[in-house]
Each structure stands twice: as C-alpha cells, then as structure tokens.
Chains A and B, each alone.
Chain A
Amino acid sequence: MIVAREKTADTVPWRDPLLLRWLLFATALAAAPHAVFQPAWVVAALAVAMLWRWLIEQGRLPKPGWLVRALLAVLLLALVWNQYRTVFGRDAGVALLLVLFGLKLVETRTPRDYAVSVLLLYLVVAGGFLHEQTPWVAALAVLTIVTSLVTLIRLTQPTTIDARRSLRLAGALLLQALPLMLVLYLFFPRFTGALWSLPGAGGAGLTGMSETMQPGSLGEVMESTEPAFRASFRGVVPPPEQRYWRMLVLWQTDGRRWDRGALPPGRERLTAGGPEYRYQLILEPNRLGWLPVLDRPVETPLDALAFAGNVYERREPTRERLSYELSAWPQARDRALTSFARHAALQLPDTLSPRVRELAERLRAGRDDSLAVAQAAFDHFRREPFVYTLRPPRLGTDPVDEFLFETRRGYCEHYASAFVTLMRAAGVPARVVMGYQGGEHNPAGNYLLVRQSDAHAWAEVWDETRGWVRVDPTAAVAPARIERGSEAIRRLEASGLNPGSLTDAALTRAIEFGLFERLWRRSQLTLDYANLAWYRWVADYGAERQSKLFEGFGWPRLTTAQLIWMLVAAFALALLFTLVWLSRQRTTLDPARRQYDRFCRKLAHAGLARAPHEGPLAFAERCSCQRSGLATTVSEITRMYLGLRYGRVPAAGLPELRRRVADFSV
C-alpha cells in the first residue's frame, strides 16, 4: 500500500539469559567471607538456595509456592534462634540475613526481584565487614560490587552490550567512583559513640598469654610468631634494653603457680621525669583484657581500670584490634609502697624449701640495701652455671628449688619466678611482671612490631629511695635475649648454640642473616607495614585520626560544619573532574565517517542535504538525479567511503578520501 514499510525496533524482552548467572556469581562472592564467620549450616543453606534457583532456571525443579516459602522462612528463623538465642545483634542478624537472602534468591523472577537481590547483597557485604575489616574481605567486596554492577547493567541493558563490555563498563564505573569515594571517606565527619548497641560476638580462637604463670606456661606463647601488637613512636624509638612492655603484675605464689593475688584496683602514684616516649599502640586481638604498656606508664589507656603495678585491664577481652596513645617515662619514680602492697610483695609459699631459704639468707647477709641484695642474686645467676634455653627439663612439685639447685636450665619465667622468690625470702619486696620484651623495628613505618614470641617475664624489687626497680634475671644469663630479641635466641637454639657461652662477635656471626633471609624479612616487614597502614586508614579511621589528618594539612581543630563545607567543596571538585574526564573522551568518530560528514556538509551547503534516514547510497543516487553534473564525483566518493567503513579491504585509501573530499566543491 501507500504506507511505506518501516523498520520499527521491537521492544526487547527484559531478560538476559545470563542474568541469573551473574547474580549467583555475585552472591557467591558476597557470601564467601561468611563461610569463615558463620556456622556451616548457614552458608550451606545459602548454597542450597543458589543451587535450587539454578535448577528452577534449568526447568528441572518447579518454583516453590507461597506456602513452601513461608514454611521455609519460619524454619530458618527457628534455626537461627536455635543457634544464637536471638535474631538481633551482629552474628544472629547476619545469619538471618544470609538465609533469608537465599529464600529471596529462590523466588527471584522479575526485574524488581533482581534489583532487590543485588541491593541485599550490599547488606551481606556489610555484614562481613562487621566481622572483619581485613584486606581480603575488602578485596572480595570489591569483586562482589563489580559483579553486582554487571548484574544491574545486564538487567537494564540486556541487548547490544555483551558480558565482556558490561564487565568493562562496571570496572570503569568503579574506577570513576573511587576518587569521589576517597573524598567522602576522608572528609565525612566521623562520630564517636554508637547509635544503639547490640550484642556482639563470642571471641573464639584468641591467642596470647594467660593471667597466671607456672613453669612452661609462657613456652607455648613464645612458640608463636604472630604479632602481639605494634607501637609507632613519635620521634625517637627507645633502645632495645628499654623495650619492656608490661601487661600483668603477679603478686601471689603457691610455690609453683603465680597469679595476681587479691590486690584491689587502684593506681600506683608515679612522678614523671626524665625522657618521654610518646607512642601509639595497636593491639592485636587476644584473650585477655590486659593492655601492654611501655615501662613506665603514667596515664591510663582508654577506658581501662588501673591495677597495682601500673597495669591496666579492660572489662572485655580484646576481640578486635584496639589502639591507644600513651607516654612512657622510663625514669618515673614511685612515691610510696602501701603496707597492703608491701605485704603482698613479701608473700611466700609455706612450702619454701630450706635450701632456698639458706641461699636467700646468704644473699642478704651483710647487705642492708635491697638493690645490693638484688645485685647479689643477679650475680649468683651469672656466676653459677645457669643456662638459658627454650626447651628446659620438666620441673616437679617445687619448681623454684629444683630450678635453682638441680636443673638450672630455663627461660624467663623460671628466672623471674626464682629471683622473686629469693628476694622475698631475703626480705626484699618483689613482684613478677609479665608482658613483652623487645620488638622489631620496622623502618618502613617507624614502628616496633612485637610478636607473641617476645613474651617475657621479669622482676621488680622495691627500693626505699628509688621505688620499684626493674631487674631482669634473664639478662644475667642471656643478655642476648634482651639485646637481640627472642628471634635471635630462637635462631641460636635452632643451630644448637647456647647464648650464654658465646662471645659477642660469635653471637653476631651466628645470628647474621643470609641474603635471601634478609630480603624475605624485609618483604615481611613491608607487608606488616601495609597491614598496619590498612588498619590505621580503615578500621581505626575515626574522629581522632581524621582531625589528626587535617592537623597534618595545617588545619587544626576543624568543626563539623567546616568539615562538611570542605567535604562539599572537595566532592564538587572531584565530580567536576570526573565530568571533564568523561566528556573529554567523547567524539572519536571513525575518520572515514568524519570525511564523509564533511562531504555531506559541502553538499548540504549547495542545497543537497542528506536526510538522516537516507543511507549513503540512496543519497548519492538522489544527488546524481538532482545534479547530474556531480554524479560521477559523488558516486566515487560514496563508494570510497563505504569501502573504507564497511568493506573488507582495510582503510588504505583514507588519505585519498581525505584529498577527494577536500578537493570536492559544488
């Protein structure tokens, strides 16, 4: 008929056949971290749901009706309740989210379902972050987000753009969003304090030392090279012999086991003096609430409770990394010893053997200064054939006696325990301090990395004029332990050498690293620094660090309003930058096409405008009809253009086309 045939674009079906695959892929990535955090059945339930949905897609399983879904929802709720006795809070909430997300996945059908599923995935990802803020969890989240973006792209645009291009587009979106995200992240005002508080999690699998000391109790901890904490110093890092990190003070002993005793909370008064070391300590999770602090602390870190001996405990175990800033005053002086504390520092077991008493008497004889007595005991350890070893013989019921007079082999806790017992027997108030000694300096970040293997026990004795004085009997036997660290001792033991029997030079030679080992350690330190930096900028980036960052830029004490203004300005700037960048890469038309457009413009100028629906061939024909004089040129240029743009022969004739178009005139 008269109505011309017309090519109308068909309305496309919304579904991309691969859409479900992308969604399932994103789900798997989002759920992966939860396989570690959640009970196995939760993740298994989600996996079953994914499989189920897949089989529905294949037509091998029917879609579940509403009754089945409702029953399943109730069942899953009951299972979560059974596991956690609640459905609120972090762990139970995330478990519930995961299983209900599985249910949602099973009934996902319409575009809206898909969009909602993708959005719920973000909640799943955030649930993982609440568990752990490590780089690998973050990396999985980035992958999840990219796949979720691909899912959204495929959902919006099922045609024309293939999976690879969608992936590229998703990646481009992510990269373009990153600068904006960084601006928001750095400038967005952080708040302190929670909006609401919910039950958290049970801390399982935490390592670290225990609250008591008995022969062999530290040995297990010292086997581990896991980091215990990191301390970065503002300015000078203290020398190795001052790197004593106290954590616990043990007052009471039954002859075998040392514990904290019954001293009530309360701080010991110190007078600060001498040099100050200011540091930030980032504590790894461990099973205690005690906080390691560098000798000697004056303030109380965080919300901890101070105990006699300048040690600090929080009510809860350290389940997540914790950071606090503190000063150490190595030359701080105690003011007085309470009678209660004096009594506790002189407590002795009833079972103290006569041999020990006799030795103590001998050390005491003729000396009335408590430090002189301590020096005598110290000399005793150095003089007698005591051996420092990480693999001492097992001790029986009276370990102090057996160690002092028979085995004479042991490590820090044996020496500390024996030393303090001797001091008390000699009438000198003394106590055992447990904590860490040493720390590896990481030049990459100017901080000390202290490992579990640096766990240490030493003694403190009371001197009427100087207060509590640190005496480390281990140093009498193996000065290398203090000066060169536990790592050096470990290496010596591994090569069958005894630290006490070597000269300094021999020692240095023995613990010297080979090239590969040095490179390995170097890379380990760099990795550790990256780890620390990650922690600082991610988990620990709060109000405090934020204000410190701006202080660094020279804007101290910003108010929230100022911060928001800066945020808006920086965000607008970043957005503008993105806009400019996006519009810059706009017109990169095919060069042949550009020439052809130029040619068309010339024709249009002469009254031969090409209609947009007119193909080049039809246009050429029309031009030829209307201006027979142009026929040859027009058809030749058109043929060249079509050959360049659509022909099989590659674009060899582009300069020729350019020349012809340039010469062309009507």
Chain B
Amino acid sequence: MSADVILARRQLYMLPSRHGWLLAGMIAVLGMAAINYANGLVYALVFLLVSLGMVTMLHTHRNIHRLRVTVAAPPPVFAGETAQFPLCLVNDTGRARLGIVVEQAKRERARLDLPAGETRTATVTAPAIRRGWVVMPPFRLSTCFPLGILYSWSRTLTLAARVLVYPAPTATGSPATGAAHEGAGATLTHVRGGEDFVGLREYRPSDSPRHVHWKALARGRGWLTKEFGHEGAAVRWFDFDTLAPHDTETRLSMLCRDVLDADREGTPYGLRLPGIALQPSTGESHRDRCLEALALYAG
C-alpha cells in the first residue's frame, strides 16, 4: 500500500452505463430496420453510432487512465468527529480530465474537473468513533465523460494514510484540576513555550514560521528564531493516576479536556500517564504531543 497511485490500465474497468444500454438497444432496432429495408443510410447511421461508441470508449478510458491519486497528511480529529482524508487528483497530462467522480461506498463523494497539469482535491471521510488510528477507507474513481454512455471505474483503491483520533474531550476537565498544583513550586526555571520573549537563537527547520525573526532576516542577519517562555509561572501536572475512580477512557477524555483548556490559557502543563511523562511546556507542538500520547495510550 502506498500513498500514491497512478491508475494503470489493469486497474480500470469499463461497461456501458444505463444510457449506454439504451443506446445499444436503439442500435439493435435501427440495425433491424437497416437490414429489413436494405437502406444504405440507415446502415450508415447504425455503423456511425457503433463507431461513436468505440471512439467514446477510448475517450472515456483516456479521461481516467494514468490519473495520479495521492493523499495529503490528514489532520487529527477527536473521537466522535469525522476523519477527513484530503485526496489529491493530479493531472500530469496536457489535456483536461473532466467529470472525475470520487466514489466511496458506492456513493458519489465529489465530482472534479482537472484542467491540464492541475491538481484538485476531494475528501474521503471515515467516522472517527474511537481514539487511536483510523485508516483511510477504500474508495474508487470513475468517469462517464464524454457522452455518459460508458462508465469507467477504477479498482477499489486503498491508500496508505491514517488519521490520529484524539479522545473525545469531556465537557469539564478532571475534578482534580483545582488541586493539581503539587510540585508546581519546584519549577521556577524557565519553561519553553509561553508568551514572554526570552531571546533569539539559531533557526531550526522544525521551528514555527510564526516565531521566525523576519525583520532580522530582512535586514540580512540570517535566520533567527524568537524564543518565548515563562519565568516562574505556575506549572500544572495532569496525572492519569489521580483520576482513579473513573475508567481508562473517561480518564483520557478528562485529561484531553485539561490539555485543551491549559493550552488555551497558555499555562505550562505536563502530562503523566503510566510509563510516560511529558515535561511541562506550552505551545502547539507540546499540546499535540500530549494529545497524541492520550490517543495512543495502551494501558
């Protein structure tokens, strides 16, 4: 399984559509009339319709053949939401591909027109019921272009993509939140992440573009990153074990809510799960690390 498929001839099928069968019936009727009346022009009409069907076959095939399908990194979701897999259809040819349909579970999800050399996206969805990984559901591509008399479809495709599903956050955080400051006083050292400017350092590729010191870059001083932090702020620890009376999933959901709340407030926080401890910090990447730990917790 890969994240990138080019529709090859062997992955494509074709049959007449409903309209196509109607046309075939009409051709049969006209054929009988041609033979019966020995009418040259009716013969010609019959043969023209047959030939048009043949040519349309080539056109319909060409419309979908060698279409490249990839999936972009899907964003994580919370349990109970819908996982969305952004599907990219890439038309590498110098010819437009029109009326490409993305089908999922035999239902039309999207209908795309791809101009020459362009890329369009559609979404394949899957319900995210439980935390953990949700793999991309199978889908297929099809087209009826240009005449709608032939229906060409691809084999069912499964791309290597998965969405991380975080636990669904509870409405309120853990009841222990108010008393969760144990050990807080010990951390007066500066904690990375936060709102106060601490200083500049060399740029690292993983740094958020938001923190790049663009003015310095514009002045030709090279790539620098602004560091932010908390000086002596209260640090909160969220601990799986303190939520003892609840079951595992509820505890994870509560912790999820805590993490989201703390992240919104900008308070530095740490997370303790059995066997895992994430040191207190702030910021998007810290939050995502915490949520990922919750999502994948296998205790």
Are A611 and B81 CB-contacts (below 8 A) given A115-B19, A129-B41, A133-B39? no
- With A3-B77, A180-B51, A185-B44 already in contact, the answer to whether A156 and B145 are too (CB < 8 A) is yes
| A167-180 near B? 1/0 per residue, CB < 8 Å | 00100011011101
Q: Which residue of the partner chain A has the closest CB to B68?
A: A612
Contact between A130 and B42 (Cβ–Cβ < 8 Å)? yes
B58, B70, B149: the one contacting A612 at CB < 8 Å is: B70
Of the residues B19, B39, B76, B121, contact of A613 by C-beta under 8 Å:
B121
Given the interface contacts A538-B44, A542-B38, A613-B119, does A4 sit within 8 Å of B51 by beta carbon? no
Instruction: A344 to B30: give the CA distance in the assembly, Å.
Output: 52
A176 to B32, CA, bound (A): 25
How far in angstroms is the closest Cβ of chain A from B265? 17
Instruction: Assess the A184–B123 pair: CB atoms within 8 A.
Output: no
- Smallest CB–CB gap between A179 and chain B, Å? 8
Return chain A residues, CB-CB under 8 Å to B146.
152-153, 156-157, 169, 173
Does chain A have a CB within 8 A of B108? yes
In the complex, what distance in Å separates the CA atom of A2 from the CA atom of B76? 7
State whether the Cβ of A159 lies closer than 8 Å to any Cβ in chain B. Answer: yes
Q: In the complex where A184-B47, A628-B223 touch, is A3 in contact with B40 (Cβ < 8 A)?
A: no
With A2-B76, A155-B148 known as contacts, the answer to whether A177 contacts B42 (CB < 8 A) is no
Tell me whether B72 and A613 are in contact (CB under 8 A). yes
Kindly state whether residue B147 has any CB partner on chain A within 8 Å: yes
Pair A173/B52 contact, Cβ less than 8 Å: yes
Which residues of B191-206 have CB atoms within 8 Å of chain A's CB atoms? 203, 205
- The residue in A157, A173, A578 that gathers the most chain B C-beta atoms within 10 A of its C-beta is A157
Shortest CB distance B55–A (Å):
5
Q: Using Cβ atoms and an 8 Å threshold, which residues of chain A touch B108?
A: 11
**Does residue B86 face the partner (Cβ distance < 8 Å to A)?**
yes
Asked if residues B36 and A194 are in contact (CB atoms below 8 Å), the reply is yes
* B277, CB-defined interface residue at 8 Å: no
A-B contact count (CB 8 A): 208
In the bound complex, what is the Cα–Cα distance between A256 and B96 (angstroms)?
80
A114 to nearest B CB, angstroms?
A: 9
- The smallest C-beta distance from B219 to any residue of chain A, in angstroms, reads 15
| SS of A interface (majority) | helix
* A510 vs chain B, min Cβ distance (A): 44
Q: Which residues in B have their C-beta under 8 angstroms from that of A177?
A: 48, 51-52, 54-55
Interface flag for B227 (CB, 8 Å): no
CB neighbours of A612 from chain B (8 A): 68, 70, 72, 88, 90, 119
Q: Is B94 an interface residue (CB 8 A)?
A: yes
A586/B209 contact (C-beta < 8 A), A122-B26, A177-B54, A538-B40 known: no
Q: Is B156 an interface residue (CB 8 A)?
A: no
Residues B98 and A161 in contact, CB atoms below 8 Å apart: yes
Q: What is the 8 Å Cβ interface bit string for chain A, positions 5-28, against chain B (1 contact, 0 not)?
A: 011110110000000000000000
Secondary structure of the B contact surface, majority rule: mixed
B278 beta carbon closer than 8 Å to chain A = no
CB atoms of B36 and A626 under 8 A apart: no
Name the residue of chain A whose CB is nearest to the CB of B149.
A152
Tell me the minimal C-beta distance from B286 to chain A in angstroms: 14
Nearest CB on A from B16, distance (A): 12
Whether B54 lies near A180 (C-beta < 8 A) is yes
Instruction: Say yes or no: A625 contacts B41, CB within 8 Å.
Output: no
Are the C-beta atoms of A115 and B148 separated by less than 8 Å? yes
Which B residues touch A12, using CB under 8 A?
111
Query: Contact between A160 and B113 (Cβ–Cβ < 8 Å)?
Result: yes
- Kindly state the separation between the CA atoms of A11 and B103 in the bound complex, as whole angstroms: 12
Which residue from chain A places its CB closest to the CB of B45 in the assembled complex?
A: A126
- CB pair A141 B22 closer than 8 Å: no
- Say yes or no: A6 contacts B51, CB within 8 Å: no
Decide: A119 and B22 in contact? CB cutoff 8 A.
yes
Most chain B CB within 10 A, of A2, A4, A188, A195, is at A2
Return A548 CB to nearest CB of chain B, in Å. 15
B55–A586 touching, CB < 8 Å: no
Chain A residue nearest to B22 (CB atoms) is A119
Complex-state Cα separation, A119 to B92, whole angstroms: 35
**A579 CB–B CB distance under 8 Å:** yes
| Complex contact A156–B147 (CB within 8 A) | yes
Q: Is residue A561 within 8 Å, beta carbon to beta carbon, of the partner chain?
A: no
- With an 8 A cutoff between CB atoms, is B133 at the interface? no
Question: A157-B98, A612-B68 are contacts. A137–B41 as well, Cβ < 8 Å?
Answer: yes
Asked whether A316 is an interface residue with its Cβ less than 8 Å from the other chain, the reply is: no
Once A152-B148, A181-B47 are accepted as A-B contacts, the answer to whether A174 and B52 lie under 8 Å apart by CB is: yes
Q: Which of A6, A9, A125, A176 meets B45, CB within 8 Å?
A: A125
Closest to A192 in B: B38
B81 touches A593 (CB 8 A): no
**Is A455 located at the chain interface by the 8 A CB criterion?**
no
Tell yes or no: B134 within 8 A of A by CB: no
Identify which of A9, A192, A611 gathers the most chain B CB atoms within 10 Å of its CB. Answer: A9
Residue on B nearest A187 in the bound complex, by CB = B47
Does B23 sit within 8 A of A, measured CB to CB? yes
Determine whether the beta carbon of B23 is less than 8 Å from that of A185: no
Q: Does B289 sit at the interface, judged by CB under 8 A?
A: no
Interface: A272 (CB within 8 A):
no
B19 touches A575 (CB 8 A): no
Q: In the bound complex, do residue A583 and residue B62 qualify as a contact, i.e. CB atoms below 8 Å apart?
A: yes
Q: Is A461 an interface residue (CB 8 A)?
A: no
| B188 interface contact, C-beta 8 A | no
**Do residues B44 and A9 form an inter-chain contact, with CB atoms below 8 A?**
no
Are B147 and A116 in contact, with the CB atoms below 8 A? no
Asked if B30 and A123 sit within 8 Å, CB to CB, the answer is: yes
Q: How far is the CA of A7 from the CA of B70 in the complex (A)?
A: 16
The contact string, 1 if C-beta is below 8 Å from chain A, for chain B 73-93, is 001111001001010101011
Over the window 520-543 of chain A, the binary record of Cβ atoms lying under 8 Å from chain B Cβ atoms (1 yes, 0 no) is 000000000000000001111110
Q: A169 to chain B: which residues have CB within 8 Å?
A: 146
Interface residues of B in 17-71 (CB under 8 A from A): 18-19, 22-23, 26, 29-30, 32-45, 47-52, 54-56, 58-59, 62, 68, 70
Give the distance to chain B from A160, nearest Cβ to Cβ, in Å.
4
- Complex interface: chain B residues within 8 A of A155 (CB): 148
Does B14 sit within 8 A of A, measured CB to CB? no
Per-residue CB contact flags for chain B residues 114-131 toward chain A (1 = under 8 Å, else 0) read 011101111100000000
For A611, give its contact among B45, B72, B123, B147 (CB under 8 Å). Answer: B72
Q: Enumerate chain A residues within 8 angstroms of B19, measured Cβ to Cβ.
A: 112, 115, 152
Chain B residues, CB < 8 A from A585: 95
In the complex, what residues of A have CB within 8 A of residue B18's CB?
112
Docked Cα-Cα span, A111 to B147, in Å, equals: 12
Using an 8 Å CB-CB cutoff, how does the interface string of A62-81 with B read, 1 for contact, 0 for none? 00000000000000000000
Contact A625 B209 (CB under 8 A): yes
Give B277 Cβ to nearest chain A Cβ, in Å. 24
Q: Residue B7 at the A interface, CB < 8 A?
A: no
Residues of B near A160 (CB, < 8 A) are 96, 98, 113, 115
Contact across chains for B47 and A194 when beta carbons are under 8 A apart: no
Is B112 part of the binding interface, using a Cβ–Cβ cutoff of 8 Å? yes
A606-635 vs B, CB cutoff 8 Å, 1 = contact: the mask equals 000001110000000100011010000000
Residues of A contacting B36 with CB < 8 Å? 194-196
Q: Give complex CA distance A141, B45 in Å.
A: 9
Docked complex Cα distance between A613 and B98 (Å): 19
Name the residue on A nearest B113 (C-beta): A160
Q: How far is the CB of A278 from chain B (nearest CB, A)?
A: 24
B243 within 8 A of A: no
Q: Which of A122, A588, A612 has the most CB of B within 10 A?
A: A612
26 A-B pairs with CB atoms under 8 Å apart are A3-B75, A3-B77, A4-B86, A9-B120, A119-B23, A125-B45, A153-B147, A156-B99, A159-B113, A160-B113, A161-B98, A173-B55, A174-B48, A174-B52, A177-B55, A180-B55, A181-B50, A185-B47, A192-B38, A194-B36, A195-B35, A541-B40, A542-B38, A582-B58, A589-B94, A613-B72
The 7 closest A-B pairs by CB, nearest first: A156-B148, A180-B51, A184-B47, A177-B51, A588-B94, A129-B41, A538-B40
New contact pairs (11) apart from A133-B39, A157-B113, A159-B113, CB-CB < 8 Å: A2-B76, A7-B121, A11-B110, A119-B22, A125-B45, A130-B42, A160-B96, A177-B48, A180-B55, A539-B39, A540-B40
